Chains A and B, each alone.
Chain A
Amino acid sequence: MPAVSKGDGMRGLAVFISDIRNCKSKEAEIKRINKELANIRSKFKGDKALDGYSKKKYVCKLLFIFLLGHDIDFGHMEAVNLLSSNKYTEKQIGYLFISVLVNSNSELIRLINNAIKNDLSSRNPTFMCLALHCIANVGSREMAEAFAGEIPRILVAGDTMDSVKQSAALCLLRLYKASPDLVLMGEWTSRVVHLLNDQHMGVVTAAISLITCLSSKNPDEFKTCVSLAVSRLSRIVSSASTDLQDYTYYFVPAPWLSCKLLRLLQCYPPPEDGAVKGRLVECLETILNKAQEPPKSKKVQHSNAKNAILFEAISLIIHYDSEPNLLVRACNQLGQFLQHRETNLRYLALESMCTLASSEFSHEAVKTHIETVINALKTERDVSVRQRAADLLYAMCDRSNAKQIVAEMLSYLETADYSIREEMVLKVAILAEKYAVDYSWYVDTILNLIRIAGDYVSEEVWYRVIQIVINRDDVQGYAAKTVFEALQAPACHENMVKVGGYILGEFGNLIAGDPRSSPLVQFNLLHSKFHLCSVPTRALLLSAYIKFINLFPETKATIQEVLRSDSQIRNSDVELQQRAVEYLKLSSIASTDVLATVLEEMPPFPERESSILAKLKKKKGPGAVSVELEDGKERGELNGGGDRGGDAAIAASNASTPSPSADLLGLRSAAPVSGAAPSAGSLLVDVFSEAGPAAASAGVNDDGFLRFVCKNNGVLFENQLLQIGIKSEYRQNLGRMYLFYGNKTSVQFVSFSTTVSCPGELQSQLNVQTKTVEPLVEGGAQVQQVINIECLTDFVDAPLLNIKFRYGGALQNISLKLPVTINKFFQPTEMAAADFFQRWKQLSQPQQEAQKIFKASHGMDTEVLKAKLLGLGTALLENVDPNPENYVCAGVIQTKAQQVGCLLRLEPNAQAQVRTRARAHTQMYMHTHTQMYMHIHTQSPSVLLCAALIASLTAVCVFLCAAANQAWRAGNTQLALFSLALFLSHSPPLSFTPFFHFLIHFSPHIDSTLSH
Chain B
Amino acid sequence: MIGGLFIYNHKGEVLISRVYRDDIGRNAVDAFRVNVIHARQQVRSPVTNIARTSFFHVKRSNIWLAAVTKQNVNAAMVFEFLYKMCDVMASYFGKISEENIKNNFVLIYELLDEILDFGYPQNSETGALKTFITQQGIKGQFQTKEEQSQITSQVTGQIGWRREGIKYRRNELFLDVLESVNLLMSPQGQVLSAHVSGRVVMKSYLSGMPECKFGMNDKIVIDKAGKGGVTNEAGKSDLGGGGSTSGKQSIAIDDCTFNQCVRLSKFDSERSISFIPPDGDYELMRYRTTKDIILPFRVIPLVREVGRTKLEVKVVIKSNFKPSLLAQKIEVRIPTPLNTSGVQVICMKGKAKYKASENAIVWKIKRMAGMKESQISAEIELLPTNDKKKWARPPISMNFEVPFAPSGLKVRYLKVFESKLNYSDHDVVKWVRYIGRSGIYETRC
Instruction: List the interface of chain A (C-beta within 8 A of B).
Output: 24-26, 31-32, 34-35, 37-39, 41-42, 44-45, 69, 71, 73-74, 76, 103, 105, 108
Contact = CB atoms under 8 A, between A and B. Distances in A.
Contacts of B341: 38, 41-42, 44-45
Contact of A39 (B339, B356, B359, B387): B356
A22 to B, nearest CB: 13
Contact of A34 (B357, B386, B389): B357
Contact of B385 (A31, A39, A42, A74): A74
Contact of A35 (B338, B356, B389): B356
A41 B339 contact: yes
A34 B358 CA distance: 7
A69 B40 CA distance: 10
A69 B42 CA distance: 12
19 contacts: A24-B62, A31-B358, A34-B357, A34-B359, A37-B338, A37-B356, A38-B341, A38-B357, A41-B341, A42-B342, A45-B342, A45-B381, A69-B40, A71-B387, A73-B386, A74-B383, A74-B385, A103-B386, A105-B386
Contact of B383 (A26, A45, A71): A45
Contacts, number: 52
Contacts of A35: 356-357
Contacts of A76: 386
Nearest to B359: A34
B266 interface: no
Contacts of B358: 31, 34
> In the complex, which of the residues A38, A44, A108 has the most CB atoms of chain B within 10 Å of its own CB atom?
A38
B383 A44 contact: yes
B291 interface: no
Contacts of B102: none
Contacts of A32: 357
Interface string B227-243: 00000000000000000
A71 B339 CA distance: 12
Nearest to A74: B385
Contacts of A39: 356
Given A24-B10, A45-B381, A105-B386, A74 B357 contact: no
A900 to B, nearest CB: 64
Contacts of B357: 31-32, 34-35, 38
Given A73-B339, A74-B339, 20 more contacts: A24-B10, A26-B42, A31-B358, A32-B357, A34-B359, A35-B356, A35-B357, A38-B341, A39-B356, A45-B342, A45-B381, A69-B40, A71-B387, A73-B385, A73-B387, A73-B389, A74-B383, A74-B385, A74-B387, A105-B386
B43 to A, nearest CB: 12
B171 interface: no
B340 interface: yes
B360 to A, nearest CB: 10
Contacts of B383: 41, 44-45, 74
Contacts of A25: 10, 62
A42 B357 CA distance: 13
| Chain A binding surface SS class | helix
Contacts of B359: 34, 38
Nearest to B389: A73
Contacts of B381: 45
Nearest to A77: B386
A44 B339 CA distance: 11
B391 to A, nearest CB: 11
A25 B64 CA distance: 12
Interface string B40-67: 1010000000000000000000100000
A27 to B, nearest CB: 10
Across chains A and B, which 7 residue pairs bring their CB atoms closest together, nearest first? Answer: A38-B356, A73-B387, A45-B341, A35-B357, A31-B357, A41-B341, A73-B385
B311 to A, nearest CB: 13
Contacts of B356: 34-35, 37-39
Contacts of A74: 339, 383-387
B44 to A, nearest CB: 10
A41 B10 contact: no
Nearest to A71: B387
A23 to B, nearest CB: 10
B379 to A, nearest CB: 14
Contacts of A108: 386
Contacts of B384: 74
> In the complex, which of the residues B338, B357, B387 has the most CB atoms of chain A within 10 Å of its own CB atom?
B357
A31 B360 CA distance: 11
Nearest to B360: A34
A346 to B, nearest CB: 34
Contacts of B339: 41, 73-74
A41 B383 CA distance: 7
A73 B385 CA distance: 6
A50 to B, nearest CB: 13
Contacts of A45: 341-342, 381, 383
A74 B386 CA distance: 7
Interface in B349-363: 356-359
